[in-house]
Structure 1
Amino acid sequence: MITAHAEVIVVTPVYEDLEASSRLFRELDAVFGTKLFILAVDDGSVRQPLPASVLEGLQAGGAIVKLRRNVGHQRAISIGLGLAAEHMTSSQLVVVMDSDGEDLPQTISELLAALDDVQVDAAVAQRKSRVESLKFKAFYEVYKRVFSLMTGRAISFGNFMALRQAGVKRLAAMQETPIHVAAALLASKLRLRICSIARGPRYAGQSKMNFVGLALHGFRALMVFAEDVLVRVGLLCAGVAALSVLGGLLAIVLKLAGFATPGWFSVAFGILVLTLLQTGTLALMMLMLTGVVRSGSVTTALSYKEFVDRILTPAGEISLDA
């Protein structure tokens, strides 16, 4: 399916964004020409389905992967990675990018250059400039700090990345990839290089990601490291429970020494006992959940084919196994 002469395979999810994605394909073609293969994953678009005609007249090869239903931005990327992993050669590189124009085709060369180092498996884009609203920027800063606190890891990049074949195959085989691609890359243990790259404005239309969607996207990143999060929350609860015990003992000492005012001891001791019971219960729940997560963390290959309806090219429909 993927042409052997292509040096770069671009995997991009598209959902109801025909105008912007069409412009992206033209600009990618202008930059790479015949060295490029475009793997566009149409994530169940209904109002603006992506036709194979958007690839006509391009020097680059390409295919439109039609999904049976809308599966979400991250799973759409993972399906594209699954296809790329199955059909690419060891000399080809994969670039993952959004289709709205915010990931600039002209900056892909910076990511590819980072892969010239044999010690680098994946190059990721860290934004040195953004065009989003102040509200989004503030939320993003809070998200990065919460993520670091809860997981012990720093995340400063998104979906814009370049991967060697080994990196593509590893991500395609991880059950975390459909949840959150960037967090899965962190969890993959691949050797990363962070490149500072500017972000561009959308080509057309408005972003379909609202504040609730952004918050959910952030929580999904935490889900990838659920075990680490549960352990940290459990330790925090255990620490608060220990402080409650110490506080209760101090209250008893003050009461026996005659320093407690009438009614103070009963209120203080009651609050501390309730805190101890609640945090102790939460700590035990966290430990139990950690055990469940650990016992169920068996990595299986992503069965992407069950989501694919058909694959279109300018020459016509092709078989999924071609």
Structure 2
Amino acid sequence: MESALSRTTTLSVVIPMFNEAAVIPALVARLRPVLDALAVDYEVVAVDDGSRDDTVSALFDRGREWPQLRVLRLRRNSGHQAALTAGLHRAVGQWVVSLDADLQDPPETIAEMLRVAREDGVDVVYGVRADRSTDTMFKRNTARGYYWAMRRLVGVDLPAQAGDFRLLSRDVIEVLRRLPERAPVYRLLVPSLGFPSAEVRYDREARAAGETKYPLRRMMALAWESTANFSAAPLRLATWLGMSSFLLCLALIVFGMVVHVSGATIPGWTSMFVAVLLLSGVQLICLGLLGDYVGRIYATVQNRPAFHIGFDSRDERDEPAGAKPVARGDDRTPSFDSVVAVRG
């Protein structure tokens, strides 16, 4: 069924959502006219990342009037990148656009992205933020620092000011689906694949409604995920710290021998205290860094899924008339109307 749909669906728009009920009316009001004007077969894959507000109910309400709107609901909150992964893996279009729900990245840019991809024959079109004046000074500076650090630590040809607003061809999607990444960071992973790419510049707008889902804590977590997933720099830092402490210990040994030969008397506990503290601190840093990588290896060996799909409205709509529901393990798909009734 999915292969047949992928041959007829030209464009998929994947939108991860977490507690975005307030912005859904504005999102639909701007996105639907843009996609209808393209005159192509399309779908909108709205991925609910375990929202605790009325996001799911609002999506189903809009889905009654917008048949191209497809609701993909995760069983629990799995994070923005995991929700994006679920949407990319389930999208069926020949071209797939990832878009945030807050309307800071204007949906009107999608038409330009699709035109550039077709005319230039590229597989990736990045949405690059030419103007970020609507963001706070802190957000702009931290973003600038993130891209600067990633270019030097990771070595990826990372487009400046390019977030998760991008267009990907079906070839790129299939490669991403085959990668064994458990916690992908797409703003680094996609450029690392080396597909032909282009850029479309736009002015970043203010959030249409609701609150940001990327506070400082999440931004720091993204920076660490980016570094740990694509670079061994922290391990090399541990190695350099170990070598530095070793050289310092050699210097202290030489100093102690010189003092002993000269006959000078010094309190022995001071040097011992400093040496123990220094070595213990370096060892703890190194163990912490190594432990994080060992934890990642452990999680990879377990091979647990990063997300669990609880419901996909397309499965219900594609069910033949009169057919009995197909059991999908413990992932039983409820009827479209019953979910609306429960959530509404």
**TM-score, normalised with respect to structure 1:** 0.75
- Equivalent in the alignment of 1:41: 47
How far apart are 1:3 and its partner, in Å?
7.0
Question: Which whole-Å CA distance do the structure 2 matches of 1:151 and 1:16 have between them?
Answer: 32
Tell me what 1:234 maps to. 238
Q: Residue 17 in 1 paired to residue 20 in 2?
A: yes
1:4–1:231 Cα change, 3 Å: same
Q: Report the Cα offset of residue 80 of structure 1.
A: 0.7
My pick for the range that moved more, 141-150 or 30-39, is 141-150
Shift of 1:159: 1.1
Distance 2:272 2:53 in 1: 62
Summarize the alignment of residues 25-174 of structure 1 with structure 2, pairs less than 5 Å apart. 25-33=28-36, 34-35=39-40, 36-48=42-54, 49=56, 50-58=58-66, 61-84=68-91, 87-88=92-93, 92-116=94-118, 117-118=120-121, 120-130=122-132, 131-148=134-151, 150-153=153-156, 155=158, 156=160, 157-174=162-179
Cα RMSD between the aligned structures? 4.0
Deviations 1:212-267 (A, max 9, x none): 23322332323423x61343223322342344145335534763786x98648974
Aligned pair in 2 of structure 1 residues 246, 137: CA closer, same or farther (>3 Å)? farther
From the superposition, tell whether residues 302 and 281 of structure 1 become closer, same or farther in structure 2 (CA, over 3 Å).
Answer: closer
- 2:214 maps to a residue whose letter is M
Taking the aligned partners of 2:288 and 2:29, their CA distance within structure 1 comes to: 53
SS in 1 for 2:232: helix
Q: Distance in 2 between matches of 1:296 and 1:303?
A: 10
Tell me how far apart the structure 2 counterparts of residues 233 and 109 of structure 1 sit (CA, whole Å): 45
Aligned 1:191-230 pairs, distance under 5 A: 191-225=196-230, 228-230=232-234
Indicate if the aligned counterparts of 1:241 and 1:279 stay in contact, CA closer than 8 A. Answer: yes
Is 1:244–2:248 an aligned residue pair? Answer: yes
2:252 is paired with a residue of what secondary structure? helix
Matched to 1:126, the amino acid is V
Cα deviation for residue 311 of structure 1 reads 1.4
Compared CA separation, residues 257 and 142, structure 1 to 2 (3 A)? farther
Whichever residue aligns with residue 13 of structure 2, its letter is: V
Counterpart contact for 2:228–2:234, Cα < 8 Å: no
Moved more, 156-165 or 63-72: 63-72
Percent identical among aligned pairs is: 20
The amino acid of 1:232's aligned partner reads: R
Question: Quick one: structure 1 residues 288 and 52, their matched pair in 2 at CA, closer, same or farther if it must change by over 3 Å?
Answer: closer
Structure 2 unmatched runs, 5+:
320-324, 329-344
Counterpart amino acid of residue 107 in structure 1: T
- Secondary structure of the 1:40 match is strand
Letter in 1 for 2:86: I
Residue 54 of structure 1 deviates from its aligned partner by 1.3
Contact preservation (8 Å) 1:171, 1:188:
no
Task: Count the aligned residue pairs.
Answer: 311
